[in-house]
Amino acid sequence: MSEPVLEIDNLSVRFNLKRGVLRAVDGVSIKVGKGETFGLVGESGSGKTVTARSIMRLVPTPPGEIASGTVRFEGRDIYQMSDEEIREIRGQHIAMVFQEPMSALNPVFTVGSQIGDPLRTNLGMSKQEARERTIEMLQLVGIPSPATRIDNYVHEFSGGMRQRVMLAMALSCDPTFLIADEPTTALDVTIQAVILELITSMIERFDMSLLFITHNLGVVAHACDNIGVMYASHLVEMGSTEEIFANPQHPYTVGLLRSIPRLDVQEKFLTPIDGTVCNMMDPPQGCKFHPRCTQAMDICKERIPEFKELSPGHFAACHLHEQPTV
Amino acid sequence: MTENLLEVKDLVKHFTLNGDLVSRIAGKTQTVKAVDGINFHIRQGETLGLVGESGCGKSTTGRLITRLIEPTAGEIKLHGEDLLSFSPKRMRETRRNVQLVFQDPYASLNPRKTIMDILSRPLEVHKLATTWHEKRERVLELLNLVGLGSEHIDRYPHEFSGGQRQRIAIARGLALTPELVIGDEPVSALDVSIQAQILNLFRELQEKFSLTYLFIAHDLAVIRHISDRVAVMYVGKIVETGPVATIFSDPLHPYTKALLAAVPEADPKKPPPRLTLEGEVATPIDPPPGCRLNGRCPLATSICGEVEPALVSVATNHEVACHNL
Ligand SMILES: Nc1ncnc2c1ncn2[C@@H]1O[C@H](COP(=O)(O)OP(=O)(O)OP(=O)(O)O)[C@@H](O)[C@H]1O
Ligand SMILES: Nc1ncnc2c1ncn2[C@@H]1O[C@H](COP(=O)(O)OP(=O)(O)OP(=O)(O)O)[C@@H](O)[C@H]1O
Ligand code: SF4
Ligand code: SF4
Ligand SMILES: [Mg+2]
Ligand SMILES: [Mg+2]
């Protein structure tokens, strides 16, 4: 890999709640190189968003707590930075597209001021420059009539338009690192294609790196260089996109790929992985997937499998791969 | 043939932008033709999939049917009765049977209420459970249906992941076992395994209670899976509608074709999706005359810029609005 821009090492994040401790992220290590797109996929509630927010130091503490690990951006430890430094990183280097637009957009300001004001404070643009840049960004993300829409409020936008406002906001400062948490879920496939092209062009032009969180495995297949798969706060598999799709090694990944609905035929019922995710405040011993795994063995109930490199660049945490095959 | 549960006729919703007095005097007021004369019906026990470009009016349609907003013009009939003439009291009762699962769970779940509060409220209002124990039991049952464990019941919405919140919104939509569920992107934040579980749940409930669905989604594989019929919208209009198999195997409208060509397949060895439409996304603000795809459409001819194509029948149940088929 080229020089890693982002290095997450052994990150654990927990929430200290009234009813107990919830381990949201447990021992996750991820490296993202310059110009690389890393896709993070996995079970709903497995810790993808919390991992992403940790990079920006945006996990609410309390109740959240970084229990262990480090996050390094361009070699510097994010958690050792002063408030001043982290503000600079957030405003100019790392940008984030949040999973739910309304959690990050303000209902009482116009769309234009929400995109434009940071451009003035962070990049020192004049009012006029910021407005022109904002209209240009709205246009780039496919908002029709941008010169009118710039003065509207978010409640006057559709779900997908709000998502694109956030994208415009994130991309307007030419970040070197983009964290995109489900950035295209509210978009139809044609506008999704436009957005993915826009992001690709930014990767090419600025050598931008991308941490791409999504449930859309079709998008992952075409947009990402490498993929990490999360289940119940653990990273359970990681490898190149080709490897993960052609040769998945963790039973959760295999089940996930089998659950994708098909476009060519209509099946009456789909094939999900049986069972439900474990209680994260009282997780099972051993491999967190064992109550649902069709290949579970005795050892799976006792010991957490090690995250091991099975072939160059392809890692998985599963006892099936720890023992010499019988 | 089964009865039409829902019938929508010439439904129109226009929004005014910059409608304040100052802007009106300055002539800055503009009209968004969010929904601009659409017609469709859904039979009892049927699922109509609604797809279309982001911003084309799908959520507005859903909100009109639940009367969260009032239409500019047009008719909505539920069991043949004019829904728009229902008194507020009658409407409140009707809401029990017509439920909307909102597109944005973050904004639609009250941050100050626990999941227990949120899910037991509709049960209280419609007197389906009275004692604390009854309510608690029913809420746990609902959580279980959407794959959430009992440990979540006393937590607040902001303490959940996006997909967990979405499932809480689904549980709320199903709490009263309504007749008609309008799902506005109800599974978009779920991983494909949980998504498969929820889609199976929708199907089971439909079989058991003959539920009717209006299912809005951008994921065409999901639409393919869940729908009996599909309606495709583009900038406030329905441009094609037909049985699900026909729409997917024999799409006729250039916009429907463009949508299908742009689906990224979950296989890195397959070619990446193609964009067959050029140019700018059309605007619902004072749209130009003629077909709204004109300017982006590879088949456009001179008539397309002048006359708006009407939705006409091309085969049984298959309707398309295009001059150049
Ligand atoms: N503010 C919070 N307080 C308490 N628990 C939280 C908080 N935020 C997240 N969690 C919990 O942490 C776990 C991981 O959540 P996270 O949002 O990272 O999941 P995710 O992988 O992004 O899921 P999704 O795909 O559904 O968005 C979940 O069990 C969630 O309930
Ligand atoms: N309250 C409002 N005031 C003004 N304009 C509105 C309002 N609500 C919606 N609109 C506009 O109406 C159009 C249709 O919006 P709608 O939310 O119905 O789209 P949608 O098809 O659901 O899109 P998406 O797929 O992005 O969710 C958009 O142009 C939107 O900006
Ligand atoms: S470690 Fe055991 S339970 Fe876990 S995924 Fe592997 S085989 Fe299944
Ligand atoms: S009417 Fe004309 S512009 Fe519209 S879809 Fe048909 S060919 Fe294209
Ligand atoms: Mg998330
Ligand atoms: Mg919508």
Q: Which residue has the higher pLDDT, B295 or B256?
A: B256
Q: Is the CB of B15 under 6 A from ligand 2?
A: yes
Name the strand (E) or helix (H) holding A133. helix A127-140
What does the pLDDT look like over A307-321, one tens digit per residue? 999 999 999 999 999
Strands A307-311 and A314-317: antiparallel
pLDDT surpassing 60 at residue A326: no
Mean pLDDT of chain A: 94
- Assign B244 a pLDDT band (cuts: 50, 70, 90): very high
B111 CB within 8 Å of a chain A CB? no
Q: Work out the average pLDDT over A38-64.
A: 96
Structure confidence at residue B280 as a pLDDT band (50, 70, 90):
confident
Return residues 230-259 of B near A (CB < 8 Å).
Answer: 244-245, 248, 258-259
Strand stretches in chain B, DSSP E: 4-17, 30-43, 47-52, 73-78, 81-82, 98-101, 180-184, 212-216, 229-234, 237-243, 312-315, 318-320
**Predicted TM-score of the model (pTM):** 0.95
Nearest ligand 3 atom to the CA of A297 is 2
Does B218 contact chain A (CB < 8 Å)? yes
Burial of B243 (0-12, 13-18, 19+ CB in 10 A): middle
The pLDDT value given to residue B175: 94
Strand pairing of B212-216 and B47-52? parallel
**Mean local confidence (pLDDT), B223-238:** 97
Asked whether B156 lines ligand 2 (CB < 6 A), one says no
Chain A interface disruption, residue of B60, B108, B191, most A CBs within 10 A: B191
The alpha carbon of A217 and the centre of ligand 1 are apart by a number of angstroms equal to: 20
pLDDT at B27: 75
C-alpha B118, offset from chain centre? 22
A257 CA from centroid of ligand 3 (Å): 17
- Res. B286: pLDDT tops 90: no
- Say if the ipTM goes beyond 0.90: yes
Please, which residues 150-169 of chain B have a Cβ atom closer than 8 Å to chain A?
A: 151, 154-155, 159-165, 167
pLDDT tens-digit readout, A132-148 = 999 999 999 999 999 99
